[in-house]
Amino acid sequence: MAINPPRPKMPALNALRAFEAAARLGSFTYAAEELFVTPGAIAQHVKSLEAWTGEKLFKRLPQGLELTALGASVLADFIAAFDQLGLAVHNLRTNAAPREIRIAALPSVAQLWLSPRLPGLREAMPEIAISVTALENPPNLNREPFDLAIFYEDPDISPLSIVLSQDLIFPVCAPSIASRLKIPADLAEETLLHDMTWQNDWEIWLLQLPSMPHLKKSGPTFSLYALALEEAKNGAGILMGHEALVQSQLDSGTLVALFDMPHRLQRSLTIKTAKPIIVGSVLDETVAKLISLASKAAGTSC
């Protein structure tokens, strides 16, 4: 008998990660996007894991994937394991660079809400290095290297979530256009501006005006809300404003809110953290200052 017999090999970490992502998201394509590889690479990793287990983990169907009983039985364990691994990596980075704060935010929030508040943060906390990444979708804070995420989301009661303000929408435009608009029916002859992130804003707002079902909803669409906002300021048309994002323009008079008919959406501008905030920590100070800066600028524009 060998003194040091060969030990059975464990499956590759990449194979385990590919299985967990594909199983959680229900798609090789979505898993590939999350892990920044190709769908083919995900498929190969899963295939290698299935070869290691000797059993299938997915049923390949014409309309997508379905977990086998074996795959479904272990998914929760793998999600918890990779969440815990992500938090361990997060703690490693935080302990290695305790004076750095990394923020992820929706592009419009980063440009129009957060950016004007960064000077106040730097002044209040000059020893802190703050970086900002604009993302279209909220990151998984258990897996991605961000300390804070600032997005419009459905409110929840999680201790990891802090509501800054409810999303209030209403039409806004340049003063030169506002002077000729007295009632909502006047919109029929105007150009409506649209943003790709919130494509249904106009339909949602118009639901409170059942007498205007035939209002034209065509008009230029912008991939960046900040660009649409600039065009509204330039007199190109009327945009559906989100209070937290247009408040400074309303205060300065470069934009005007129309008709005094705001509509409250269920979602809110929210700060989320990966783990509960420790009182007195750098993260605690940063969040407290952001809330303070938000409160100073708060106010109803309509």
Summarised one tens digit per residue, pLDDT across range 236-250 is 999 999 999 999 999
Task: Output the pLDDT for position 214.
Answer: 64
Task: Output the pLDDT for position 292.
Answer: 82
- List residues bridging with 65 in a β-sheet: 60
Task: Select 13-80's CATH number: 1.10.10.10, 3.40.50.970, 2.60.40.10, 3.30.565.10.
Answer: 1.10.10.10
Task: Output the pLDDT for position 1.
Answer: 57
Look at strands 161-173 and 263-273 and give their pairing: antiparallel
Task: Output the pLDDT for position 209.
Answer: 76
CATH architecture for the domain at 167-264: 3-Layer(aba) Sandwich (3.40)
- List residues bridging with 195 in a β-sheet: 222
Task: Output the pLDDT for position 274.
Answer: 81
> Can 13-80 and 94-164+267-297 be said to share one CATH topology?
no
The domains of the chain are located at 13-80, 94-164+267-297, 167-264
Extract the residue ranges of the chain whose pLDDT is less than 70.
Answer: 1-2, 211-217, 296-302
Task: Output the pLDDT for position 230.
Answer: 94
Task: Output the pLDDT for position 301.
Answer: 37
Task: Output the pLDDT for position 128.
Answer: 87
CATH superfamily name and code, 94-164+267-297? Periplasmic binding protein-like II (3.40.190.10)
Residues 6+ positions from 144 with CB-CB distance below 8 Å: 86, 104
Task: Output the pLDDT for position 109.
Answer: 94
